[in-house]
Amino acid sequence: MFLLFLTGCNAPSKPASEVNYDLNAPPTSGGTMINAMTGEPSGLISMIAGESASSAISSNIFNHLLKYDKNLELEGDLAESWQISADQKTIRFKLKPNLKWADNHPLTSADVLFTWQAVIDEKTASPYASDFQLVKKAETPDALSFVVTYDQAYAPALDSWAGLQILPKHLLEGQDLHTSAFAQKPIGSNFYQLDKWTHGEHLKLSRNPNSALGQAKIDYLITRIIPDNSAQFLELMADNIDLMGLDPIKFSRIIPARPELQKKLALYKELGNSYTYMGFNLKHKPFDDVRVRHAINYAIDKQEIIDGVYLGLGINIASPYKPGTRWSNPDLVPYPYDPDKARALLKEAGFTDSNGDGILERDGKTFSFEIITNQNKEREKSAVLIQRRLKEVGIDVRIRAIEWASFISRFIKTGDFDVVILGWGLGLDPDQYNIWHSSQQAPGQFNFIGYNNSTVDQLLEQGRLELDANKRQRIYHTFARILLEDSPIIYLSAGYGLTAIHKRVKGIDNPAPPAGIGHNSEEWYIPQSLRRNEITNH
Amino acid sequence: MLKYLIKRVLWMIPMLIGISLISFSIMHLAPGDITNNESAFNPKASEESRQKLREMYNLDKPVIVQYGLWLKRMATLDFGKSFASHQKPVFWQTTDKDGNVTKGMIQQALPITLMINLLGLSITLLLAIPLGIIAARKYQAWQDRSITLFNFIGFSIPGFWLSLLLMYWLGVVNNWFPISGLHSLNYDTMDTWDKIKDSFSHLFLPVVIPSITGLAGITLFVKNGMLEVLQQDYITTARAKGLNEGKVVYRHALRNALLPLITIIGLSIPGLIGGSVIAETIFAIPGMGKLFYDAVLMRDFPVVMGILTIGSALTLIGNLLADVAYAWADPRVRRGVAR
C-alpha cells in the first residue's frame, strides 16, 4: 500500500545539490521569496491588531511618515522633509509629491490626518494610542503638509511617527476599524500589496506598481503559516522556504555540521533591540536593600548563561539600550562574576549562616525566594544556572514557569512575586519613562518592580522634553549609569536575532548594519537561474 | 420508541445549559483575559487602551452578567465574534453592508478537521477489523502475537516524533511528500486531477500517522469481542451443524462481535470535530485543535465557548445516535427501550 502512494509522486527535475548558489549575478527583477511565520496575523491594520505577526506583513504594505535608515537615524518615508519649530512643540511634515495608493487614488496629508484621528478615536482601542493622544492639534494646510502641535515638547514624537502606518481615508472613512473587511484585504502604498490570503495557510504579496518609493526587486513575497519550528526547519532543509528565524542550536550546531545545508543557506546574526533580565520586587524585603541586589548581581555568572543558554550568541550588557547605538553608554561595564564579593556584601547586609545548613539567615528567616518566569525555554534554563550560582553563596532559590496570561494577570499585575526573569523588547527611541518612572506602578503599568528614584524620575522627564540628540544622549547615559548602580534589575544578556536565508536571495548586507538585515529588503533580488522552477508566477 | 427519542432530545437542553455554565465558569477561573496577550507587555501599549478593550468586550462586567449576555446571544444561535482575530464571526460567515463576506472561524476549521478525522477513522477501522479478526482466530499463535506487538509499538510511539521522522525521511531526504500545509502554493493554477493528487499527498502523513497510532485500541476491541462471541453456544451449534468456518466467523460471529464498536464510534463523534493540537501544529493544518488551543491561550472566550458548545452538543447527539443504533442492531436492547 505504501509503495502505491509513492509512485504517484515525481522527483524534482534537477537535484538541488548540483546548483551553485554562490554565483554572483547582477540585480534583476522577478522571482518569489518564501518565508515562514509561526502565527497568523489577526488582521493587517497593525494599530488594531497589535501583534508582531501583523506588523511583519503590514510593514510591506503600508508606509509611515518617517523611517529609520540602516544606521538607525530617522529619514523620510512618505515625508520628504520635516521641521521642528523653535519652541520644539510643532512638527511640520512635508509629503513627497505625487504619492499614490495601490488603487491609484492620490495619497495626501488628508490620509495622514485621518490616520491620526483614527488612532486616537474614542471607539478605537489601539494599544499604541497614547503617543498620539499628546498631539493637541493636527492640521493639513495643503495636500502635502501635515502639522502637529504638542502641549509641550515631546521628544519621542518623531519616533512615534515612524511607527504609525498611514491608512487610506477614501477606503476607511466611516468604517469601524475593529471589524472592517479592509483588515483582510488592505490597500497600501508601500512596495507590496496583498495578492491573496489563504487563511491558516499563507499570505501572498505582489509588487505594488504604484509604490510610493520606487519598485522592489522581488515580484512575490509569500509567507507561510507554519506554527511548529521543527516543521519550518524541515521545510527550509527541503528548500521549500527561503527564510526563517533560528534558535542558537540550529544556528551554531546543526547548520554548520551539514555541508549540504551550508551550501545553500547563508546565516545572519543581528543584535536585537531587546534584553533578558532578572528583576527584583523592590517592595519586598530583602530586595529593598541595595547591598543584597549587588550581592546577587556579583553572584551570577552572566557569561555562563550566555555560553550555556545562548551558545555564545548573546552579549553581556550594562545599560538598557542596544549596544553600539548612541543611547548606550560605552563607559559602563557589567558587574563581574565575583562570589567572594557577593558573600561579603550579604554579610554586611546582616545575613549569616547560623545553623550551618549552607543557607543564609537574617533575623531567624532563611534567605529563600522564588524566581518566576513565563514558559520560555531560554529563561527557564537561565533560571536554573542562577539557582545553582546563588546556592553557592547561600541563597535558596525555587523556580516556577507560568503560562503567559496567568503570569501577567496573577503575578505581575498584582505584584505577587519576589523575582522575575523576563525580557524587554524596546523601540528605537531611548525614552523608557513607562518602565522606570516612579509614577508608573499602578496594576497593569510597566514599573511593576516598584523602582523609585527621584533622580531617575527627573532624568526621564527631561529626556522626554529634549529634542536635541546630543543633549538627550547625555541624559540617557546618566540615567543608565544610575540604573546600573541601583541594580533594580540584573541584565542577563542581549541575544542575537538569528536568521537563515537561502543563498539564492542576493543583495543582503552581511554583516548586518545597526538596523538589521531587513532595512533594504526591497533591494534583495533572486537571479533568474536560481529561482525555484516549480512555482509558477501568475 | 418515538416518545423515548423526544424525551432524550428534550433532556439535552438543560444538559447543554449546565455544560455551558460550567465551561463558562471554568474558563473565567483561569487568570487573565484577552488584554494579556503579546502587546500587553509592550511598554508603548497603555493600560487605558486595555481597559477600553475590556469595556468593548464587556469583560469589566461580573462573570454571571457576561454569561447572561452570552446565553442571550446563544438563544438566537449567535455564537458571537472572536476577540483576538479581528472580530471574525466565531461560527458562520457574515456579510457586511458592502458585500464583504467574512468567513466564520469554525466554518473554516471544521471541514478540514472533519475530513482528516473521518479519513483517519475509516483507515483505522479498515485495518483494525481484519487485524482483530485474524488475532482472534489465531489467538496466541504467531499471527496474534505479531499483530499485538505491531499495535503496541504503534500505540507507544509518540505521534509527533514519528511525524517528524517521517517528514524528514519522506519530505527532506526523499522529495516524495510535502512536509507541511494543506495545499501547494500553486494549488489554484492546477487542473482538477492535479488538485486531487496535491490534496492527497498533503493529507497522507497527517491522516496515516494518527490512524496507525490509534490502531491498538480498536483492534483489541474487535479481538476481544470476537473471542467472546466465538466461545458462545450458538457458534458451537453453527459449527456442529456443519457450516464452513468462513460462514461461522463472518456471518454469525462478526456481527455480534462488532456491536461494541457502535458505542465506540458513537463516542468518537465529538472527537471527530476536535482535532489534535500537536498534529495540527506540526503539519501546519488550520484545524479545530489549533483553533481551540490558540483561543485558550489568547483567552478568546467567544471562540472557546463556541467550540465547547458545539462539541458538547455533538457529544450528546453522538451518545443518542449510539444508543439508537444499538437498539437498531440489537433486538434485546430495542425491546428494552420500547418498554
Domains of chain A by residue range: 2-45+56-60+190-242+504-530, 66-172, 274-495
Cβ separation of B37 and A405 shorter than 8 Å?
A: yes
- Residue B239 pLDDT > 60, yes or no? yes
Residue A222 backbone phi and psi in degrees, to 5: -115, 130
User: What's the CATH code, domain A274-495?
Assistant: 3.10.105.10
Residues in chain B within 8 Å Cβ distance of A445: 47
* Nearest to B304, CA basis, from B41, B24, B92, B64: B24
Q: What is the pLDDT of residue A3?
A: 38
Grid coordinates representing A502 are: 537561502
**Chain B: closest CA distance from residue A180 (Å):** 8
Q: If you average pLDDT over residues B284-302, what whole number do you get?
A: 85
pLDDT of residue A183: 87
Q: What pLDDT score was predicted for residue A293?
A: 94
Count of alpha carbons within 13 angstroms of residue B73, beta-carbon side: 16
Q: Give the start-end residues of each E strand in A186-329.
A: 192-198, 202-207, 220-225, 243-245, 265-271, 274-280, 314-315
What is the per-residue pLDDT for A51? 79
- CB–CB of B279/B159 below 8 Å? yes
User: Contact at 8 Å (CB) between B222 and B132?
Assistant: yes
Shortest distance between the Cα of A296 and any Cα of chain B, in A, equals 26
Q: What is the pTM of this model?
A: 0.84
pLDDT value, residue A290: 92
How far apart CA B285 and CA B168 sit, in angstroms, is 18
Instruction: State the pLDDT at residue A115.
Output: 92
Q: Please give the grid coordinates belonging to residue B27.
A: 474558563
C-beta atoms of A426 and B43 within 8 A:
yes
Query: CA dihedral defined by A69, A74, A79, A84, rounded to 10 degrees?
Result: -170
The grid cell for A172 is 476607511
Mean pLDDT of chain B: 82
- Give B87 or A350, the one with higher predicted confidence: A350
In chain A, residues with a C-beta closer than 8 Å to the C-beta of B181 are 201-202, 224, 226
Contacts of A93 (CB under 8 A, 6+ apart): A65, A79, A81, A82, A109, A112, A145, A146, A147, A148, A161
Q: Are residues A120 and A132 in contact, defined by beta-carbon separation less than 8 angstroms? A: yes
Instruction: Tell me the residues of chain B between 210 and 249 that have a Cβ less than 8 Å away from chain A.
Output: none
Fold of the domain spanning A66-172: Dipeptide-binding Protein; domain 1 (3.90.76)
> What residues contact residue B112 under an 8 Å CB cut-off, 6+ apart?
B182, B275, B285, B286, B287, B288
In the block, cell 433486538 appears at B331
The grid cell for B286 is 488550520
Burial class from Cβ neighbours inside 10 Å (0-12, 13-18, 19+) for residue B76 reads exposed
Taking contacts as CB-CB distances below 8 angstroms, the residues of chain A near B107 are: none
Indicate yes or no: CB of A129 within 8 angstroms of CB of B284. no
Q: pLDDT tens, B111-144? A: 888 888 889 888 988 888 888 888 888 888 898 8
Give the residue from chain A lying closest to B169, CA to CA: A234
How far is B159 from chain A, CA to nearest CA, in Å? 14
In A, minimum Cα distance to B283 occurs at A231
- Classify A2-45+56-60+190-242+504-530 by CATH class: alpha beta
The answer to whether the beta carbons of residues B105 and B321 sit under 8 Å apart is no
Compute the CA torsion angle A491, A494, A495, A499 (nearest 10 deg): 160
pLDDT at B337 over 70: no
B284 inside 8 A of chain A by CB: yes
Q: Can you tell me whether residue A480 is helix, strand or coil?
A: helix
Residue B316: count of CB within 10 angstroms of its CB: 20
Give the whole-number percent of chain B exceeding pLDDT 90.
Answer: 1
- Paired with A243 in beta bridges are A35, A501
Size of interface A-B (CB pairs under 8 A): 181
* Among the listed residues B312, B317, B217, B227, the one whose alpha carbon sits nearest the alpha carbon of residue B266: B317
Length of chain A: 538
Q: Which of residues 37-66 of B touch A (CB under 8 A)?
A: 37-50, 52-53, 56
Whether B148 contacts chain A with CB within 8 A:
no
CA distance linking residue A17 with residue A12, whole number of Å: 12
Sheet strands side by side (includes A145-150): A79-84, A90-95, A145-150, A135-139
Tens place of pLDDT for every residue, chain A, 538 residues? 333 333 334 444 445 556 788 878 888 888 899 999 988 888 888 888 777 888 889 999 999 999 998 888 889 999 999 999 988 899 999 999 988 999 989 999 999 999 999 888 888 877 788 888 888 989 999 989 999 999 988 988 999 999 899 999 999 888 888 888 888 889 999 999 999 998 889 999 999 988 878 888 999 999 999 988 889 999 999 889 999 999 999 999 999 999 989 888 999 999 888 899 999 999 998 899 999 999 999 999 999 999 999 999 999 999 999 888 889 999 999 999 999 999 999 999 999 888 888 889 888 889 999 999 988 889 999 999 999 999 999 999 999 998 887 888 888 888 899 999 999 988 888 999 989 999 988 888 889 999 999 999 999 999 998 888 889 999 999 999 999 999 999 999 998 999 999 999 988 888 888 888 888 888 899 888 888 764 444 3
Give the list of residues 6+ apart from residue A214 with CB closer than 8 angstroms, or none: A522
Neighboring chain A residues of B44 at a CB cutoff of 8 Å: 127-128, 130-131, 163, 427, 434
B164 close to A (CB below 8 A): yes
pLDDT over 70 percentage in chain B:
96
Q: What nine digits make up the cell of B204?
A: 497522507
Q: Tell me which chain A residue has its CA closest to the CA of residue B103.
A: A199
| Chain B residues touching residue A223 (CB < 8 angstroms) | none
Look at residue B29 in the predicted model and tell me its pLDDT: 82
